[in-house]
A and B are shown apart, each in its own frame.
Chain A
Amino acid sequence: MSGASVRDDDGILAWGRVHRGRHRVAAPVWPGELEEAARASAGEGGATLARGLGRSYGDSGLNLGGGLVDMTGLDRAIAFDRAAGVLRADAGMSLDAVLRLCVPAGWFPPVTPGTKFVTLGGAVANDVHGKNHHVAGSFGRHVRRLGLWRSDRGLVECGPDTEPELFAAAVGGLGLTGIVLWVELALLRIGSAAVTVQNDRFGGLDDFFRLSDESADWPYTVAWVDTLATGENLGRGVFSRGRHAVHGPLDPHRAGGPAVPVDAPGFLLNRWTVGAFNRLYYAKPGSAFRGEQPYDPFFYPLDRLRHWNRLYGPRGFYQWQGVVPPATAKDAVQVLLGRIARSGEASFLAVLKNFGDAASPGLLSFPMVGTTLALDFPNRGGRTLALLGDLDRVVAEAGGRLYPAKDGRLPAAEFRRGYPAWRDLEDRRDPMLLSSFWRRVSQDG
């Protein structure tokens, strides 16, 4: 009944809050309603796109003027093998719900991004990565099977060994090669809900690369960088390593935490406030913390503040994430940080991490061996876009690529250069599925 009812919604935003517009939305709550919801939201001859919890920053999770299928009502587990650690669940189930289900049974998501408010379907469609990429690779490597709905084939099952081409197109396929209906995931065994953590300040990029090399036996590593530090402080930051504690209680996280209730004024995050924050963050005792902490603050520090994206004010913000290969990484990251520091555009969140060489299973997966840098910039119009264009060129010269899920303005030429397989994805795209992002980067192809 509700699967076919479609409402117009003007208020749907990407997480970066720069893009907004009208969609025809259908919200199925039973698996049997998916097809009806997809067709009804697409409209006659139109296209639709599955949407989860809306954490993609840019236009890859939007289909402006077209249809959207809100998948969050399909949030049920289908089967959970507690002995083998295999979970099959609807694509609309969030990692938040997966954690509540799995942690008490001694299992953990094999790969998790920096927020637990993503759906399984979104994790597949963007082939997300986490702090353990150097040992575990991307999310898609742990997916055993997918249930996909295609407008031309109906329900199809695929996996690394069944319809592998369809699987490779769906993992990291930005939701364009079929609507993910369910995901079967191999989980990671844990003996405790706590994480053993070691945080260390580092003074510059050489130290970052040295610490990364020394941390091969730590399953989780990530670094925060002070993007406003210049001169001899350029590239300083805090290096964080963690591993699941061996024994301890298996308590899942608690819900709650404060929320940002309204848009903050646009000037809140500027180079001075962020600079002051960065100096404090670098100096605070937690930056040299050693000990155990619950998994929630270690993996999901930003989830503590719901709607944190409102801090960037009514104009929103751009996230930018690129990866550069090992051969050029040191020089390229040095240049990137230098450009940012000189521009005076303040990045509140700047994350640096070395990816490992495990191949991503998806045709269009973002992670590849090398070093990745993720940044957030308040949207200040032309100045911000000019800086991002500069950063794009550095990544291009270094032979790297950019992350579509993070980026609302990734230029078409840059995307096609970074993902030469994009034409194969276009060939395998479901004709009824489309996003604003794909319309923008694949036109005139």
Chain B
Amino acid sequence: MAMADSKRILVLGATSAIAERWARLRAAQGDRLMLVGRDPAKLAVVAADLQARGAAEVLTAESDLADTESAAERFAAYVERLGGLDTVLVAYGMLGDQATAQDDVERLEHGLRANFLSAAVWCELAAGRFEKAGVGTLVAISSVAGDRGRRSNYAYGAAKAGLSAYLEGLAHRFAGTPVTVVSVRPGFVDTPMTAHVPKGGPLWATPEQVAEDIERGIAKRRAVVYTPWFWWLIMLIIRNLPRPIFDRMKI
């Protein structure tokens, strides 16, 4: 199924539900994929599926992405195995639990490292590569939780706010160039990460819907993609709520 315009794609956190659904869309187009994640058994399951769906080639690498030791060398090795780089998706993360983060600063620090610090490092490495090449697409999954700190999840939200700001800066840096930076801000998504949360109702999206929104965002070169789109409106309101009202809300 290898096609002339087959893209070389690096997926960091390839076993996350959103990343996997997005990779399926790319596999069907005959792209080459490098999947990075912690669990080799899960990576193999995803790789076999993407291969069957038409990917030109699927490579895997086992790695703890929250750990940034020798990140530059690791990144270079992924790119070398892929034979170049057209698109990067940074998709790993951990929702964590706000109460745990408050009680245990080690957990808090680990969450910040996973969701912000390491993610910023991988994004910067991709940006450097694309700057040299003069072209490329960087997509990272942030969250609507980063739009305003709230009592129910500010540890997670703060990390995602940092990532959103980092991506905004990268998009600013590459404005007017062929390099595309897309910051994806999903709302509630029905994935294993949210398995413990009661679901249902119109606010919940499937990872398939989010993956399709990401594809559209890339095609339109949007700096920020709220998915589903109505979260843009919800967050606009939440960001602008006067503090006396905001303070009374249990969100």
Interface residues of A (CB under 8 A from B): 1-2, 5, 7, 11, 27, 29-32, 73, 76-80, 87, 89, 100-101, 104-105
Q: B52 interface residue, CB < 8 Å from A?
A: yes
Measured between beta carbons, the chain B residues less than 8 angstroms from A87 are 52
Tell me the B37-93 residues at the A interface (CB within 8 Å).
41-42, 45-46, 48-49, 52-54
Instruction: Take A30-B45, A31-B45 as given contacts and tell me if A101 and B195 are in contact as well, using a CB distance cutoff of 8 Å.
Output: no
Q: Is the Cβ of A1 less than 8 Å from the Cβ of B192?
A: yes
Q: Is the Cβ of A29 less than 8 Å from the Cβ of B48?
A: no
Most buried by A among B46, B53, B195: B195
Instruction: Take A32-B41, A101-B53 as given contacts and tell me if A78 and B48 are in contact as well, using a CB distance cutoff of 8 Å.
Output: yes
Q: Is the Cβ of B195 less than 8 Å from the Cβ of A76?
A: no
Q: Is the Cβ of A78 less than 8 Å from the Cβ of B52?
A: yes
Question: Interface readout for B138-169 with A: 1 if CB under 8 Å, 0 if not?
Answer: 00000000000000000000000000000000
Measured between beta carbons, the chain B residues less than 8 angstroms from A31 are 45
From A77, which residue of chain B is reached at the shortest CB distance? B52
Measured between beta carbons, the chain A residues less than 8 angstroms from B198 are 7
Minimal beta-carbon separation of B25 from chain A (angstroms): 11
Query: How many B residues have CB within 8 A of the partner chain?
Result: 16
For chain A, what secondary structure do more than half of its interface residues adopt (helix, strand, loop), or is it mixed? mixed
The one of A27, A30, A80 in contact with B195, judged by C-beta atoms closer than 8 angstroms, is A27
**A78 to B54 CA separation, bound complex (whole angstroms):** 12
Instruction: Take A32-B41, A100-B28 as given contacts and tell me if A2 and B49 are in contact as well, using a CB distance cutoff of 8 Å.
Output: no
- Can you list 20 A-B pairs with a CB-CB distance of less than 8 A? A2-B192, A5-B196, A7-B198, A11-B200, A27-B195, A30-B41, A30-B42, A76-B48, A76-B49, A77-B49, A77-B52, A78-B48, A78-B49, A78-B52, A79-B52, A80-B52, A87-B52, A100-B28, A101-B52, A105-B54
Minimal beta-carbon separation of B15 from chain A (angstroms): 8
**A104 to B27 CA separation, bound complex (whole angstroms):** 13
Minimal beta-carbon separation of A34 from chain B (angstroms): 12
Measured between beta carbons, the chain B residues less than 8 angstroms from A101 are 52-54
**A89 to B48 CA separation, bound complex (whole angstroms):** 10
Instruction: Take A30-B45, A79-B48 as given contacts and tell me if A1 and B195 are in contact as well, using a CB distance cutoff of 8 Å.
Output: yes
From A100, which residue of chain B is reached at the shortest CB distance? B28
Measured between beta carbons, the chain A residues less than 8 angstroms from B45 are 30-31, 76
Q: B214 interface residue, CB < 8 Å from A?
A: no
Minimal beta-carbon separation of B154 from chain A (angstroms): 24
Measured between beta carbons, the chain B residues less than 8 angstroms from A89 are 52
From B196, which residue of chain A is reached at the shortest CB distance? A5
Q: B34 interface residue, CB < 8 Å from A?
A: no
**A89 to B195 CA separation, bound complex (whole angstroms):** 24
Q: B17 interface residue, CB < 8 Å from A?
A: yes
From B195, which residue of chain A is reached at the shortest CB distance? A2
**A27 to B195 CA separation, bound complex (whole angstroms):** 9
Q: Is the Cβ of B53 less than 8 Å from the Cβ of A29?
A: no
From A4, which residue of chain B is reached at the shortest CB distance? B195
**A89 to B49 CA separation, bound complex (whole angstroms):** 8
Q: Is the Cβ of B195 less than 8 Å from the Cβ of A5?
A: yes
**A77 to B49 CA separation, bound complex (whole angstroms):** 4
Most buried by A among B28, B41, B48: B48
From A88, which residue of chain B is reached at the shortest CB distance? B52
Minimal beta-carbon separation of B196 from chain A (angstroms): 6
Measured between beta carbons, the chain B residues less than 8 angstroms from A11 are 200
Minimal beta-carbon separation of A22 from chain B (angstroms): 15
Q: Is the Cβ of B195 less than 8 Å from the Cβ of A77?
A: no
From A76, which residue of chain B is reached at the shortest CB distance? B49
Measured between beta carbons, the chain B residues less than 8 angstroms from A73 are 192
Instruction: Take A5-B196, A27-B195, A29-B17 as given contacts and tell me if A76 and B41 are in contact as well, using a CB distance cutoff of 8 Å.
Output: no
From A31, which residue of chain B is reached at the shortest CB distance? B45
Measured between beta carbons, the chain B residues less than 8 angstroms from A78 are 48-49, 52
Instruction: Take A76-B45, A76-B46, A100-B28 as given contacts and tell me if A29 and B192 are in contact as well, using a CB distance cutoff of 8 Å.
Output: yes
Minimal beta-carbon separation of B176 from chain A (angstroms): 35
**A163 to B154 CA separation, bound complex (whole angstroms):** 55
Minimal beta-carbon separation of B85 from chain A (angstroms): 26
Measured between beta carbons, the chain B residues less than 8 angstroms from A76 are 45-46, 48-49
From A78, which residue of chain B is reached at the shortest CB distance? B48
Minimal beta-carbon separation of A79 from chain B (angstroms): 6
Minimal beta-carbon separation of A31 from chain B (angstroms): 6
From A93, which residue of chain B is reached at the shortest CB distance? B49
Known: A1-B195, A29-B17, A30-B42. 15 other contacts (CB 8 A): A2-B192, A5-B196, A7-B198, A29-B192, A73-B192, A76-B45, A77-B48, A77-B49, A77-B52, A77-B53, A79-B48, A79-B52, A89-B52, A104-B54, A105-B54
